[in-house]
Amino acid sequence: MEATSSEHPGPALRLRLEVRGAVQGVGFRPFVFRLAEELALPGWVLNDARGVFIEVEGPRVRLDRFRERVVAERPPRSIVQSIEAAWLPPAGYGAFEIRHSDEAGAKSALVLPDLATCPECLAEVLAPAQRRHHYPFTNCTNCGPRFTILRALPYDRPNTTMLGFVLCAACRAEYEEPRDRRFHAQPIACPQCGPVIALWDASGAGVVRGGAALDAAAQALGEGRVVAVKGLGGFHLMCDARDRAAVARLRERKLRVGKPLALMVRDLGQARELCEVPELAARWLESVEAPILLLPRRPHAPVAAEVAPGNPNLGIMLPATPLHHLLLHACGFPVVATSGNLSDEPICTNEYQALERLGDIADLFLVHDRPIARHVDDSVAWLVRGELRLLRRARGWAPLPVTVKHELPAILAVGAHLKNTVALSVGRQVFLSQHIGDLETEEAMKAFERVIADFLRLYEVSPSAIAHDLHPDYLSTRWARARAAEDGELRLVGVQHHHAHLAACLAENGAEGRVLGVTWDGTGYGTDGTVWGGEFLLGDAAGFERVAHLRPFRLPGGEAAIREPRRAALGLLWESFGEALPDEAVAALGRLFDGDELRVLVRMLERELNCPVTTSMGRLFDGVAALVGLQPRVTFEGEAAMALEWEADPAEQGAYPVDLLVGSQGSGAPAAVGSWGPIFLDWGPLLGAVLEDTGSGVPRGIIAARFHNALVRAAVQVAGAVGEERVALSGGCFQNRLLTERLAGALEQAGHAVLLHRHVPPNDGGVSLGQAVVAAAQLKAGGGT
Ligand SMILES: [Zn+2]
Ligand SMILES: [Zn+2]
Ligand SMILES: [Zn+2]
């Protein structure tokens, strides 16, 4: 022991450390305990709602060493944001102890996300002689559920859904033994004292319990049945991924037509049979976050075509809990593992609710009796520009905050309409919720309200303001208004949709000051009441100037155009040519519509009836996709744009012309942005070239590539004209990897610094973060109502 070495102890002192960050549920207290024991320093450690408190006393030299080693050797899963030290006179402690949690104080301790099963626990579960052999709820201080079992802070067993499971003697001994890897692991459990699984039929009648339930579920999957599996943050719907009929049945029952389905595979080896798995992807698949990764599928991957029709990628994940590991081992084949919900509703978390909501989808229910405190979906990510980038932020990341540079007032940001998330600022942290979904169903609205109530309770914050989208009809906007009407103290701050995208990208990158935001997506309510989406905003969190945008066009039928890209094509042609359509355009429309349909829509355009004006980049993608013969109708937003991206021939370097016009003068690319108004990106010449190439039989892959390249070239020209060095790329269009990689590369070549999203999605899942940051800046400047 170091304490017995021949040092000159000097007078004893007491050191108090206050450690803040993600330090609960990661084995921080046991680590401190072992370190204090090793250095023979008496004192105590405790979790409180703000973090971990430590007091130790002894000679200064050993206290200094203790302090250094707390930082240097802290547990691998912990995130230390700050350590404050205070020196005090000794209190005469006799030994070192782990004290009971202190409930007082502001709740700012970081709640840790759920952590996928660690290699030690997995080995233990698979080894025959262990007492946790085949036990689906095995975990330790390095792995297991956290956010999905937490009911209140601080993170201690009575505050989790493990409250009802009384530890057996063997588990208690591990829990209390500081040298054990389960010392103070709050969700510790074993077959004697922990949760149990069972297999139910669709009426809720028990078929079998315990280990036999896993084998029976695996067998049912092998026979082509659909099994609903209760996991960490909700139910998955599973079926054999190789079985075309089973996958088709699942799609049909779930009312999920086109969207790709995620797969769960047994291990990395099985992942490599299905997809190309580069080294970085392998590391992320096996990480504690264990996201669904979109990876290029192998040519003859043994997976039914119905899993991801026409898609060059498969979304695959590894099991994140022992339950899933055991099930995949019992199956031996990859399974479809899609969210346990109907269509776009939020994921089911409770077995009785699941019977009701999923009863018509699943044949069997593999359930357990550990309650899920809140829904958390699987995160979805892919690798772009050599880094993992999230498309859906949930398990593994939620609810970790984004840390900003300055303290923010407490603001609740209610997010966008699709891919909704909410955010709550507490000091310098903006806590970003798990993915909630599209606020289109009653279930989704309930989940939205539940997550808000959950966040406010967890962090014990009463917000002083609510930030919302400018769209007056979004249910989130209406909710915010109703809430403010009830509470006269609450201020309301409306945040423009693309401004929120820009601010989210700034906040995630820890950047301040003015940048050029290239914010491209499908739909966002503009300050002029039109539908924006192909925007260049120059600004920061406090404000923006719309320096450039797509040339506006009309969408016949408004919202209906999102489901029918052919309508966007018609809107573009109408804006470009009016009634004097060239032959190629007439031919294209003839392929897309029957005569009556077309006449009705043209009448609408002529009378400007239900034909909102838009500058949407998403709709430009849609329109071009429809014109080249891809996806005249879609089942989800972005489907046509995805098809166009996949079609593009990466070798093609040509680009269609896009004219940059200033105001209405049409004088070409300006030298600098001034008082003469925003730059128009006139896609008219591009549209003409697409029609011409389509008419003369140029391969679709070449046309798709020239279209992407045209947008890249135009955006680089705008950035040059604006003259801002830093450019942020945000908005749903940057889920397009080809566009993102080409544009970021071209901007860098032109001397710009590019800000991209990483762990906050570029799509509307990141909007709530941006809203919180913008609202804070505007309140500071005296805004809000
Ligand atoms: Zn473990
Ligand atoms: Zn036990
Ligand atoms: Zn958006």
Backbone angles phi, psi at 609, to 5 degrees: -100, 125
Looking at residue 303, what DSSP letter applies? S
Give me ligand 3 centre to Cα 330, in Å: 42
Euclidean distance between CA atoms 452 and 457, whole angstroms:
9
Q: Which ligand is nearest to the CA of 132?
A: 2
- Catalogue the E-assigned strands of 575-696: 613-614, 659-662, 679-682
More confident residue, 664 or 241: 241
Is the pLDDT reported for residue 637 higher than 90?
A: no
Determine the average pLDDT of the residues in 108-121: 87
Closest C-alpha to 38, from 64, 76, 66:
66
Give me ligand 1 centre to Cα 174, in Å: 13
Confidence of residue 763 (pLDDT cuts 50, 70, 90): very high
Confidence of residue 253 (pLDDT cuts 50, 70, 90): very high
Give me ligand 1 centre to Cα 117, in Å: 5
Confidence of residue 30 (pLDDT cuts 50, 70, 90): confident
Confidence of residue 463 (pLDDT cuts 50, 70, 90): very high
What is residue 674's predicted lDDT score, i.e. its pLDDT?
45
Tokens of 514: 């003015």
DSSP string across 620-639: HHHHHHHHTTS-SS-SSTTH
What is residue 184's predicted lDDT score, i.e. its pLDDT?
85
Give me ligand 3 centre to Cα 730, in Å: 8
Whether the CB-CB separation of 267 and 327 falls below 8 Å is answered with no
| SS3 state of residue 546 | strand
Give me ligand 2 centre to Cα 234, in Å: 24
Tokens of 23: 């330090």
Cis check for the bond before 552: say yes or no (omega within 30 of 0).
no
Q: How many helices (H) and strands (E) does the chain have?
A: 23, 30
DSSP string across 228-293: EEE-SSSEEEEEETT-HHHHHHHHHHHT--SS---EE-SSHHHHHHHB---HHHHHHHTSSS--EE
Determine the average pLDDT of the residues in 346-374: 94
Give me ligand 1 centre to Cα 603, in Å: 65
Angle at 551 between CA 657 and CA 567, to 5 degrees: 95
Is the pLDDT reported for residue 379 higher than 80?
A: yes
Whether the CB-CB separation of 62 and 39 falls below 8 Å is answered with yes
Give me ligand 2 centre to Cα 323, in Å: 17
Q: Which percentage of the chain shows pLDDT scores above 70?
A: 95
Q: Which ligand is nearest to the CA of 145?
A: 1
Give me ligand 2 centre to Cα 727, in Å: 55
Give me ligand 3 centre to Cα 767, in Å: 7
Give me ligand 3 centre to Cα 186, in Å: 39
Is the pLDDT reported for residue 672 higher than 50?
A: no
Give me ligand 3 centre to Cα 437, in Å: 14
Whether the CB-CB separation of 45 and 112 falls below 8 Å is answered with no
Q: Which ligand is nearest to the CA of 637?
A: 3
Q: For 598-615, what is each residue's pLDDT tens digit?
A: 999 999 999 999 999 999
Euclidean distance between CA atoms 218 and 266, whole angstroms:
13
Whether the CB-CB separation of 619 and 551 falls below 8 Å is answered with no
Q: Distances in Å between the alpha carbon of 356 and those of 359, 441, 504, 674?
A: 5, 16, 38, 60
| SS3 state of residue 326 | helix
Q: For 279-299, what is each residue's pLDDT tens digit?
A: 999 999 999 999 999 999 999
What is residue 668's predicted lDDT score, i.e. its pLDDT?
44
Contacts of 487 (CB under 8 A, 6+ apart): none
Euclidean distance between CA atoms 46 and 32, whole angstroms:
10
Confidence of residue 669 (pLDDT cuts 50, 70, 90): very low
361: left (phi over 0), alpha (psi -120 to 50) or beta: alpha
Q: Which ligand is nearest to the CA of 167?
A: 2
Give me ligand 1 centre to Cα 118, in Å: 4
Is the pLDDT reported for residue 713 higher than 90?
A: yes
Give me ligand 3 centre to Cα 276, in Å: 31
Tokens of 58: 């002894």
Whether the CB-CB separation of 402 and 417 falls below 8 Å is answered with no
Confidence of residue 682 (pLDDT cuts 50, 70, 90): very high
Give me ligand 2 centre to Cα 233, in Å: 23
- CA end-to-end span of the chain: 63
Euclidean distance between CA atoms 372 and 355, whole angstroms:
16
Choose the weakest-confidence range: 398-402, 696-700, 742-746: 398-402
Confidence of residue 25 (pLDDT cuts 50, 70, 90): confident
Q: Which ligand is nearest to the CA of 189?
A: 2
Q: Which long-range contacts (CB under 8 A, 24 or more apart) does 680-684 make?
A: 680/548, 680/549, 680/550, 680/551, 681/534, 681/548, 681/549, 681/550, 681/551, 681/714, 681/718, 682/551, 682/658, 683/550, 683/551, 683/572, 683/620, 683/658, 684/551, 684/576, 684/659
Closest C-alpha to 248, from 230, 261, 235:
261
Give me ligand 2 centre to Cα 44, in Å: 27
More confident residue, 782 or 562: 562
What is residue 107's predicted lDDT score, i.e. its pLDDT?
57
Q: Which ligand is nearest to the CA of 505?
A: 3
Give me ligand 2 centre to Cα 613, in Å: 63
Q: Distances in Å between the alpha carbon of 205 and those of 208, 209, 212, 440?
A: 9, 11, 16, 33
Give me ligand 1 centre to Cα 716, in Å: 48
Determine the average pLDDT of the residues in 655-680: 67
Confidence of residue 10 (pLDDT cuts 50, 70, 90): low
Q: Which ligand is nearest to the CA of 288?
A: 1
Q: Is 304 exposed, middle or buried (0-12, 13-18, 19+ CB in 10 A)?
A: buried
Give me ligand 1 centre to Cα 593, in Å: 58
What burial letters (b/e) apply to 411-448, b meaning 16+ CB within 10 Å?
A: bbbbbbbbbbbbbbbbbbbbbbbbbbbbbebebbbebb
Closest C-alpha to 346, from 438, 213, 245, 212:
438
Closest C-alpha to 61, from 12, 16, 94:
12
Give me ligand 1 centre to Cα 178, in Å: 16
Give me ligand 2 centre to Cα 188, in Å: 7
Give me ligand 2 centre to Cα 194, in Å: 6
Give me ligand 2 centre to Cα 162, in Å: 12
Whether the CB-CB separation of 138 and 124 falls below 8 Å is answered with yes
Backbone angles phi, psi at 205, to 5 degrees: -75, 135
Average pLDDT value for the chain? 92
Is the pLDDT reported for residue 149 higher than 70?
A: yes
Q: For 345-358, what is each residue's pLDDT tens digit?
A: 888 899 999 999 99
Q: For 42-89, what is each residue's pLDDT tens digit?
A: 999 988 767 889 999 999 999 999 999 999 999 877 888 888 999 998
Tokens of 163: 């409250």
Q: Distances in Å between the alpha carbon of 280 and those of 266, 272, 283?
A: 19, 13, 5
Determine the average pLDDT of the residues in 218-245: 97
Is the pLDDT reported for residue 169 higher than 70?
A: yes
Give me ligand 1 centre to Cα 571, in Å: 56
What is residue 636's predicted lDDT score, i.e. its pLDDT?
87
More confident residue, 781 or 312: 312
Is the pLDDT reported for residue 2 higher than 50?
A: no
Confidence of residue 102 (pLDDT cuts 50, 70, 90): low
Euclidean distance between CA atoms 585 and 687, whole angstroms:
10
Give me ligand 1 centre to Cα 141, in Å: 6
Give me ligand 2 centre to Cα 192, in Å: 5
Is the pLDDT reported for residue 391 higher than 90?
A: yes
What is residue 112's predicted lDDT score, i.e. its pLDDT?
84
Backbone angles phi, psi at 162, to 5 degrees: -85, -5
Q: Which percentage of the chain shows pLDDT scores above 90?
A: 79
Give me ligand 3 centre to Cα 530, in Å: 14
Contacts of 754 (CB under 8 A, 6+ apart): 726, 727, 728, 729, 744, 747, 748
Give me ligand 2 centre to Cα 181, in Å: 15
CA dihedral 211, 214, 215, 216 (to 10 degrees): 110
Is the pLDDT reported for residue 553 higher than 80?
A: yes
